[in-house]
Amino acid sequence: MTTVLVFLDHPGASLAKGERELLSLAGSLGDVAVALADDAEQTYLDGVGSYGVQECYRPDTDVSEVLVAGKAAFLAEAARSAAADVVLLGNSYEAKEIAARAGIRLEAGVVTDVVSLDSDLVATKADFAGSYTVGCRVTTARAILTVKPNSFDAVQAGTPQAPREIRVPVGAVTPAARITGRVDKPVSGRPDLTEARVIVAGGRGVDGDFGPLEDLADALGGAVGASRAATDAGWIEHSAQVGQTGKTVAPQLYVSVGISGAVQQRAGMQTSKVIVAINKDSDSPIFEIADFGIVGDLFSVLPQATEEIRKRGL
């Protein structure tokens, strides 16, 4: 039987959507254990156990103050202790770095940006800025995979119950850099950009006014994203950037507003299930990959769309 270890890094009071997807995917592959880097509330641990997880590996020391080095060392030791055949992580920049470092320690193959996975562990991912879809399979005994949110369905949880805790000794990690402080991101009430099922993203064409985009996103229960041009202009925080140098997303619906669709931007959203493009320029490259396109003024189109959505109660 395949043993799957799921790495969870930022527990809150309850499991996030992306974490539920990872646990569901793991359950479809074999027996599931969890490697938990930080302390967690009891409700969170009960939620982990509700997905059939019997064992939760925890570090015997604080590994969160030395950037990713301590977490990678802990994950490698947890994978050895669990005799894991497959290790699953999220797809954030930090998760990819942890996967790479753990892969070196374990001499394991690493595949990032996974959007589908078959029973033989052949992973599908996009490469070269989304220009190609490729199938990858590691040639080592152990596979480490980082999985894009919204790529797998989260199954219904079972009865809440806390898994058995196993402490894993982590050797001393000499940090090249140390965290000296943290600043909490303001709470917007919208879903996290990388986990959102709907994203409304704006570019240079919004001319600094994200109000209509925020209204549409709120009507759809979605998140607000942006191109690099918009974040560099200071119109929205850099954490909202989608693209090759920003975040990679794969929502069910991606609404591109006033974005030309250069390859750098497309690399971050091209795997979205449905893409709707709104742009005044009918020759914008974004229309090449859009499922639906609207040539028009966003300040006219978006308010009408938002009003209609709210009227229908969608």
Say which CATH class 3-168 falls into. alpha beta
Name 201's bridge partners.
225, 256
Give yes or no for a contact between 229 and 257, defined as CB atoms under 8 angstroms apart: no
| Alpha carbon distance 214, 248 (integer Å) | 20
**Confidence (pLDDT) at 283:** 93
> Is 91 marked as a binding-site residue?
no
The answer to the question of whether 245 is labelled as a binding residue is: yes
Check: CB of residue 308 under 8 Å from CB of residue 301: no
Order of strands, edge to edge, in the sheet holding 274-279? Answer: 223-226, 198-202, 253-257, 274-279, 292-295
Residue 54 annotated as binding site: no
Other Cβ atoms within 10 Å of 256 Cβ, number: 31
For position 298, what pLDDT does the model report?
A: 95
Q: Is 14 annotated as a binding residue?
A: no
CATH 3.40.50.1220 in the chain: give the residue spans.
Answer: 198-312
**pTM (2 d.p.):** 0.79
- Is 228 annotated among the ligand-binding residues? yes
Q: Does residue 304 sit in helix, strand or coil?
A: helix
Amino acid at 266: R
Which tokens go with 190? 């919208």
Is 242 flagged in the annotation as binding? yes
Task: Give me the sheet containing 132-136, strands edge to edge.
Answer: 132-136, 123-127, 109-117, 143-147, 86-89, 3-8, 31-36, 55-59, 164-168
Q: How far is CA 233 from CA 213, 252, 265, 278, in A?
A: 17, 28, 16, 20
CATH 3.40.50.1220 matches 198-312: yes
The response to whether 80 counts as a known ligand-binding position is no
Q: What is the pLDDT along the chain (314 residues), one digit of tens a residue?
A: 799 999 998 767 889 889 999 999 999 999 999 999 988 889 999 999 999 999 999 998 888 777 788 899 999 999 999 999 999 999 988 999 999 999 999 999 999 999 999 989 999 997 776 677 899 999 999 999 999 988 899 998 889 988 999 999 987 666 666 667 777 766 677 898 988 999 999 999 999 999 999 999 999 999 999 999 999 999 999 989 999 888 889 899 999 999 999 888 888 898 899 999 999 999 999 999 999 999 999 999 999 999 999 988 76
* All CATH 3.40.50.620 domain ranges in the chain, comma separated: 3-168
Q: How far is CA 68 from CA 75, 87, 134, 232, in A?
A: 10, 16, 28, 27
At CA 174, angle to CA 179 and CA 110, rounded to 5? 85
Please report, for residues 12, 28, 46, 48, 51, the alpha-carbon distance to residue 160 in angstroms, rounded to integers and kept in the order given.
16, 19, 5, 8, 8
